[in-house]
Amino acid sequence: MSSARTVVIIAALTLREASRRRVLLALAVLTVALLGLSGWGFSRLAAESSEFSTLTSGEARLAASQLLNLVMFGFSLMAALGTAFLAGPTLSGETESGIALAVLARPVRRSAVLLGKWLGLVVFGSGFIVLAGLAQCVVVWATVDYWPPQPAVALALLAAQTTVLLTLAVLLSTAVSPMASGVVAVGLFGATWVAGVVGGAGASLDNEGLERVGTVSRVLLPTDGLWRGAMHAFQDPSPITASFAAAEAFPFLSMAPLTAGYLAWAALWVAMIWGLAVASFLRKDL
């Protein structure tokens, strides 16, 4: 039994689990609701700007960018919640309930099983965020005729953000209970987002202490940094957006694109956390 085969079998099993558990249905319902709501919101925006002509085209694009990022934040939150709460049951839930006993007594390596689970979750989470994000871009394009400058980059970064968070959830679920791992992962995700907003406010106020909060949290858990990179790729690249973002520290606009260095750090971070998860899983007595 080669380890590659084990990885593929377990990844397929994880995807099947995701598709059969309620989490997929819940995600689908929420996604459709959010898409419908945002479609309605954007069509109102379009009606306002054409009826009263109070908005210049630049302002309209700025508003569209902000709204798009706001809705995308909703999606990334859903992806984060969905995968974090899927990662818990699928790993620590299975070791707690005993499902893992029969599987791991087969001629498989534990690292291959963990990699398969992780891969299945990555495909699930990334698949969701890319599909939902793309649908949202189409909704925006149909209602207010705005198309983001780099949709592929933005969606890839959202997928990367989901991967970062679920890798953390996988590590946690090798050590703590299923529910706790989901709660802690989502809590940390929210905390770094808040820290990022605080850091943004610090930057606009020229307060270095506050700014450092955002920078440090972005290094410790790269979700927020990737999220800001994604926002930057979604939003209107015109100078008016940039100046607005810098002046107001608005949480749903980003000032700068991602650096290659940060991307490399995020990749390294995922590899390190994954390595820790394997080390913890290998030593576990079932």
- List contacts with other proteins (CB under 8 A): 1, 5-6, 9, 13, 16-17, 20-21, 97-99, 101-109, 283, 285-286
Buried b / exposed e along 93-110 (16+ C-beta atoms within 10 A): bbbeeeebeeebeeebbb
Q: Are 70 and 252 in contact (CB under 8 A)?
A: yes
Angle at 139 between CA 155 and CA 253, to 5 degrees: 55
**Which lies closer to other proteins via its Cβ, residue 109 or residue 212?**
109
- Main-chain dihedrals φ then ψ at residue 2, nearest 5 degrees: -80, 155
**Which lies closer to other proteins via its Cβ, residue 101 or residue 264?**
101
**Which lies closer to other proteins via its Cβ, residue 51 or residue 285?**
285
**Which lies closer to other proteins via its Cβ, residue 5 or residue 44?**
5
**Which lies closer to other proteins via its Cβ, residue 88 or residue 199?**
88
Residue type, 159: A
**Which lies closer to other proteins via its Cβ, residue 28 or residue 256?**
28
Q: How far is the CB of 75 from other proteins (least distance, A)?
A: 25
Nearest-angstrom CA–CA distance, 63 and 223: 24
Q: How far is the CB of 179 from other proteins (least distance, A)?
A: 17
Q: How far is the CB of 126 from other proteins (least distance, A)?
A: 22
Backbone region of residue 2 per phi and psi (left: phi > 0; alpha: psi in -120 to 50; beta: other values): beta
Q: How far is the CB of 27 from other proteins (least distance, A)?
A: 16
Q: How far is the CB of 16 from other proteins (least distance, A)?
A: 8
Alpha helix positions (H), the chain? 3-20, 22-52, 57-88, 94-97, 99-104, 110-144, 151-175, 178-204, 208-220, 223-234, 239-248, 260-283
Q: How far is the CB of 178 from other proteins (least distance, A)?
A: 14
